[in-house]
């Protein structure tokens, strides 16, 4: 008959278990604290577009903002960065709010967007989270001085570049079934005259897959949060869930280019190895 473990051995095993549990709680708390700190440490990154992606627009400077996700303090910080960057234009790529959070402080957001639109001509498209609150988001953008492009386009002249012209098309959100490129984009016609350079604003970079029949040169997107949680040697859980291969930065798509910004805000516990970012693109 096997003897029961001695009381001292039971106490020793229990003590080890408690130590391990305490260490796990401590490490988890430290990790969550770090993720919150990184998520609130906004970076400014200037990057150059691929050569030849927008003929005739060399020197154009575009400030890209996306995915605020109700992070008003980060938006305020981004406004300060935008003022120092001196862009030719500013684009906001959607997800001002997070749809499961209460939409509040509209006046504060309007004031920040007004500051942005006073820096340079400013344009926006909507993201998937915006759709549930679209009336409020559209009001904030319009009162903030932004031109909202929702399956519509604007023709833009840049005086600093000798009145160079290009087309800016803004699409609705892909996941929410609001993406209708036929309303605002020119069909691609092989062998035809070269159309005007075209930039597309599309919150979700997956929108590129719907544009093969249309003319465009550069797409600007957000939505991915850069992956938000990037573990060494592993794919980001957020990107795996989305089935997305474009995390952040420039990517070729045939003869075209797609730029994805990590965005400003986040959802969930925070960011890891993927800080929030204000992006300034210069066309070479």
Question: pLDDT digits over 192-230, tens only?
Answer: 556 899 999 999 999 999 999 999 999 999 999 999 998
Q: What is the pLDDT of residue 28?
A: 61
The C-alpha angle 103, 175, 82, rounded to 5 degrees, equals 55
Per-residue pLDDT tens for 150-200? 999 999 999 999 999 999 999 999 999 999 999 999 998 775 556 899 999
Q: What is the pLDDT of residue 2?
A: 54
**Helix, strand, or coil (residue 243):** coil
Q: What's the predicted TM-score (pTM) here?
A: 0.89
Category of 25 on φ-ψ map: left (φ > 0), alpha (ψ -120 to 50) or beta:
alpha
Q: How far apart are CA 35 and CA 30, in angstroms?
A: 9
Quick one: DSSP state of residue 1?
A: -
Residue 129 predicted with pLDDT over 90: yes
Q: Residues of the chain with pLDDT > 70: what percent?
A: 91
**Helix, strand, or coil (residue 159):** helix
Mean pLDDT of 34-58: 95
Q: What is the pLDDT of residue 236?
A: 80
Mean pLDDT of 226-236: 84
Task: Tell me the two tokens of residue 221.
Answer: 């997107």
pLDDT band, very low/low/confident/very high, at 240 (cuts 50, 70, 90): confident
Category of 210 on φ-ψ map: left (φ > 0), alpha (ψ -120 to 50) or beta:
alpha
Q: What is the pLDDT of residue 235?
A: 73
Q: What is the pLDDT of residue 246?
A: 94
Average pLDDT over the chain, rounded to an integer: 90
Q: What is the pLDDT of residue 32?
A: 83
Q: What is the pLDDT of residue 191?
A: 57
Quick one: DSSP state of residue 182?
A: G
Q: What is the pLDDT of residue 130?
A: 94
Least confident of 64-68, 101-105, 175-179: 101-105
């Amino acid at each position: 008959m096997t003897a029961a473990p001695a009381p001292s051995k039971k106490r020793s095993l229990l003590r080890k278990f408690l130590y391990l549990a305490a260490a796990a709680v401590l490490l988890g708390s430290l990790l969550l604290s770090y993720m919150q700190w990184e998520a609130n440490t906004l970076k400014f990154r200037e990057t150059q577009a691929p050569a030849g992606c927008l003929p005739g627009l060399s020197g154009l400077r575009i400030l890209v903002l996306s995915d605020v996700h109700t992070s008003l303090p980060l938006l305020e910080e981004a406004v300060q960065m935008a003022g120092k960057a001196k862009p030719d234009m500013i684009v906001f790529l959607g997800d001002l709010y997070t749809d499961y959070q209460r939409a509040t402080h509209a006046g504060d957001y309007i004031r920040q967007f007004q500051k942005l639109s006073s820096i340079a001509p400013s344009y926006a498209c909507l993201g998937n989270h915006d759709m549930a609150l679209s009336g409020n988001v559209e009001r904030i953008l319009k009162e903030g001085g932004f031109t909202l492009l929702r399956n519509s386009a604007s023709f833009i002249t840049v005086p600093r570049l000798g009145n160079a012209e290009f087309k800016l098309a803004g699409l609705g959100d892909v996941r929410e079934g609001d993406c209708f490129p036929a309303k605002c984009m020119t069909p691609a016609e092989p062998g035809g005259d070269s159309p005007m350079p075209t930039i597309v604003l599309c919150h979700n970079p997956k929108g590129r897959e719907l544009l093969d029949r249309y003319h465009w040169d550069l797409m600007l997107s957000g939505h991915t949060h850069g992956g938000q949680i990037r573990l060494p040697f592993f794919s980001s859980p957020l990107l795996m869930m989305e089935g997305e291969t474009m995390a952040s930065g420039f990517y070729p798509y045939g003869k075209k280019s797609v730029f994805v910004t990590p965005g400003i805000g986040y959802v969930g516990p925070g960011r890891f190895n993927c800080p929030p970012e204000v992006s300034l693109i210069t066309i070479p």
